[in-house]
Structure formats: structure tokens, C-alpha cells
Amino acid sequence: MSGQWQQQVSLKPYNTFGIDVKARFFTEAHNDDEVRQALAQAAGQDVPVLVIGGGSNLLLTADVQSLVLRMASRGLRILSDDGERVVVEAEAGEPWHPFVQWSLSQGLAGLENLSLIPGTVGAAPMQNIGAYGVEIKDVFVGLTALDRQTGELRDFSLEECGFAYRDSLFKRNPGRWLILRVRFALSRMMHAHLDYGPVRQRLSEQGVDQPTAQNVSDAICSIRREKLPDPIELGNAGSFFKNPVVAAVLADKIRLQHPGLVAYPQADGQYKLAAGWLIEQAGWKGHREGDAGVHRLQSLVLVNYGQATGVQLHQLAQKIQADILERFGVELEMEPNLY
Ligand code: FAD
Ligand code: NAP
């Protein structure tokens, strides 16, 4: 086997749940050539490949009998600037939050609501990352991906990515596309999105009346630090379930018994329910089984207190799903990618 591939590598430092499984083979790619070399070598030896970025949206339930290829490519560049609209491109291995900070330091707005999301630029399109009323599709212009079936490069426009709520063409076709770099259209003028959750209130508490994009980013970082566990201190993969979108008739039925139901009307007449609220109502908040648990402040986040296995976390998630289905008639879909 290749001298460049490490063998039997613990993936504990490479997934934010901190799950201690092993990769049969492990390597990093710093540029397109290294990606191609790793894929060609793996194909030649009939070894499957699992591409990862920051490992912040993974649930690893067993040793990985593949080559784990960690994207470590770097590079940020401005492609065009008409004085107002600025197109930037970032390599897949760039860590997301430092990229957001870099864009703000260039005086560019558009990514501020997506501050402090872990992971890499290359994984961001996978589930069309979103927070506080903004998704990457709102500022996305294109990406370049390698077709792992044909070995050809392909540029995708916004329309071709099939972005939806925490979903994309890439997530729906796992293993087909390896995202190499992503392009965003940012702006020298901020179009503020402050009406989501406590963002406006936090800015006003901070005495900010006319926020800059940097102010919004700072406010969102402070809210997130209060509510969300830092994976360095407590293993987690962020929200473990997507917020379910249900028919109005089901939302009305639940509201009859639970007048405090948190439900947001959608354009198509359905309602998005806050999954965390449902889980909390069902009594799971702070629940712990061994080292697998539900976070004490945010019921949507499952946590690893130290030695939990992926199987234990998955079993806990399945119990929650069954309970929410029984109590409310609502199916919760897991958000992290299960391996
Ligand atoms: P990984 O976990 O490494 O991979 C995720 C998936 O993408 C895997 O299937 C992997 O195979 C695939 N993949 C990775 N890189 C590539 C590539 N270059 N090409 C093709 N496929 C690839 N998500 C949100 O949407 N909003 C949030 O606000 C948010 N907050 C979070 C807060 C915390 C504390 C944590 C731990 C997670 C949060 N997440 C959030 C989830 C996660 O951070 C994002 O989904 C992030 O984009 C995952 O990036 P990653 O590099 O860690 O991906
Ligand atoms: P929150 O503010 O407590 O709100 C609870 C839920 O209600 C959120 O999930 C959000 O849905 C929804 N919501 C709130 N205000 C809304 C509005 N005005 N219109 C429509 N929906 C609204 O949520 P939180 O847990 O602290 O997270 C804050 C933001 O960060 C959310 O956008 C959340 O998605 C994002 N986040 C995501 C992850 C992840 O891993 N995916 C982890 C942490 C935080 P949406 O989730 O659909 O936005």
C-alpha cells in the first residue's frame, strides 16, 4: 500500500462528536492533483473513499473500511469586483468561520449570519448550511466539483445545485461529487437579516442601532457561544435533527394539545416546527444514557460526554425519533451524515 497513506488512524480528532473509530487508510489532499492521485490510487486498489472536511456533520458508527480523504486545500481569492458586487472563491479545505471573518475584513457583507459554523467551505454546499434566516444559496454563485464517476471537472451554477432546506444535489448523491472550490457573490452594502431569533435584540442590548456586517457577526457569535456546546469541550455535531415541515392540519392538531407549539408558516401553506421544542416538550432535554446525551440547554443537540460510541448516539436518536412520532405524529429526520 502507498507510503503516503497512513493506516489504522483514529478518527477521534477528525470528527466533532469525538468518536474514536479507526480509518483503515487516511490521507489529506492539499490541491486538485493530490485529490486526483488519491482517488486514482484508491480505484486502482479497489478501496472505497470517504471525503471529509472538518468532520462536524458526521456520525461514525464503526471503523471506516475506506480511505478517508481529508480536504486540506487552501486559497481565498477575489474573482471580480464592480465596486458593489464582489465575487469571491474559496478552496474546499478552507475552514468556514475564518473564511467568513476574512470576507468581513475585506468589507464584504453576505456571510455574517453564517458566522461560527464549524467545518469547511467544501462541505458547506452539501447541506446548504443555514442559520439565522440565511442559507448559502442566498449568496452562492457557483462551485467546481470533480465527478468521481468520470474524473471530469464540472462547474455548477446556483440553479444546478438543487439547494433546499439542509439539502442539495450533492447530499442526495452521496459519493458522486467531490467539491473542490466554491464561489460566492458578496456585497459592499449590507442587506441585513436581523428578524430571526434574538439577533436584533442582542444588537440593541449591545447599543448598536445601525449595525455593520461585523456587528451582526459579533452578535451572532455571542448568541451561539451562549447556547451551543463547543465541540472542543463537549462532542457534538450541532443540530441532530432537521426541523420537520408538516401539513397545516397536523400543526393545528398538535396545537390543540400544546398551545405553545413553535411553528413557522411556510410559503406553501405547511408549517416548519422547531424540532428542539418538540424534543424538550417530550422531556428529553438534559437526558443522559451513559456518555450519550441530549444537551441541557439545546434539545436539538446530541452530545458525547466522553466515551459514547456512534452506535450509542444513534440508538439514543432512534429512541427520540420513536417517541416524537408517537407523541406528536411527527417524523424527525437526522441531519448528520451516518457512516
Ligand atoms: P464533514 O462533517 O467533514 O462532512 C459532511 C458531509 O459532507 C460528509 O458526507 C462528507 O463526505 C461530505 N463532504 C465534506 N467535504 C466534502 C467535499 N469537499 N466534497 C464533497 N463532499 C464533502 N450546520 C448548519 O447548516 N448551520 C449551522 O448553524 C450549524 N451549526 C453547527 C454548530 C456546531 C457546534 C456543529 C458541531 C455543527 C454545526 N453545523 C451547522 C453542522 C456542520 O458544521 C455543517 O454542516 C458543516 O458544513 C459541515 O462541514 P464539515 O467540513 O465539517 O463536513
Ligand atoms: P432558535 O433561535 O432557538 O430557533 C429555534 C428554531 O426555530 C430554529 O431551528 C429555527 O429554524 C426556527 N426559527 C427561529 N426563528 C425563526 C423565524 N423567524 N422564522 C423561521 N424559523 C425560525 O435556534 P437555535 O438552535 O439557537 O439556532 C439558531 C440558528 O442557527 C438556526 O437558524 C439554526 O438552524 C442554526 N443552527 C444550526 C445548527 C445545525 O447544526 N444545523 C446548529 C446550531 C444552530 P431553522 O433551523 O430552520 O433556521
Condensed to tens digits (0 to 9), the pLDDT of residues 53-65 reads 999 999 999 999 9
Question: 0.85 cut: is pTM over it?
Answer: yes
The string of pLDDT tens digits covering residues 136-163 is 999 999 999 999 999 999 999 999 999 9
Which class is 6-71 in CATH?
Answer: alpha beta
Residues within 6 Å of ligand 2 by CB: 130-132, 195-197, 227-228, 238-239, 243, 264, 274, 276, 298, 300, 335
**Which H or E element spans position 239?**
strand 235-239
Cell 432537521 belongs to which residue? 242
How, if at all, do strands 64-71 and 22-29 pair? parallel
CATH of domain 235-338: 3.90.78.10
Asked if 97 contacts 117 with a C-beta cutoff of 8 angstroms, the reply is yes
How many angstroms separate the CA atoms of 207 and 197, rounded?
18
Give the number of whichever ligand sits closest to the CA of residue 72: 1
For the record, the C-alpha cell of 68 comes out as 478517508
Fold of 76-227: 3.30.465
pLDDT for the residue numbered 1: 47
pLDDT of residue 279: 98
What is the mean predicted confidence (pLDDT) over 276-305?
97
CA-to-CA distance for 213 and 53, rounded, in angstroms?
Answer: 26
Displacement of CA 132 from its chain's centroid (Å) = 13
Looking at residue 4, its pLDDT comes to 84
> What's the grid cell of residue 190?
449590507
Sequence ranges of the domains in the chain:
6-71, 76-227, 235-338
Task: Give Cα 9 distance to the centre of its chain.
Answer: 24
In the beta sheet, which residues pair with residue 235? 304
Backbone angles phi and psi of 326, in degrees to 5: -65, -45
Looking at the predicted structure, is the pLDDT value of residue 104 above 60?
yes
Q: State the virtual CA torsion across 300, 59, 121, 71 in degrees, nearest 10.
A: 170
Query: Rounded to an integer, what distance in angstroms lies between the CA atom of residue 13 and that of residue 31?
Result: 22
State the Rg of the chain over Cα: 21
Give the dihedral of Cα atoms 68, 182, 116, 59; nearest 10 deg: -30
Dihedral, CA atoms, 264, 117, 115, 233, nearest 10 degrees? 110
Instruction: Provide mean pLDDT across the span 1-26.
Output: 92
pLDDT in tens, 166-225: 999 999 999 999 999 999 999 999 999 999 989 999 999 999 999 999 999 999 999 999
323-333 per-position pLDDT tens digit:
999 999 999 99
Contact 56/236 with Cβ under 8 angstroms?
Answer: no
What's the pLDDT score for residue 287? 98
- Ligand 1 pocket at CB < 6 A: 16, 50-58, 71, 92, 117-120, 122-124, 126-127, 129-131, 177-179, 228, 231, 236-238, 337
Contact status, residue 302 vs residue 236, Cβ threshold 8 Å: yes
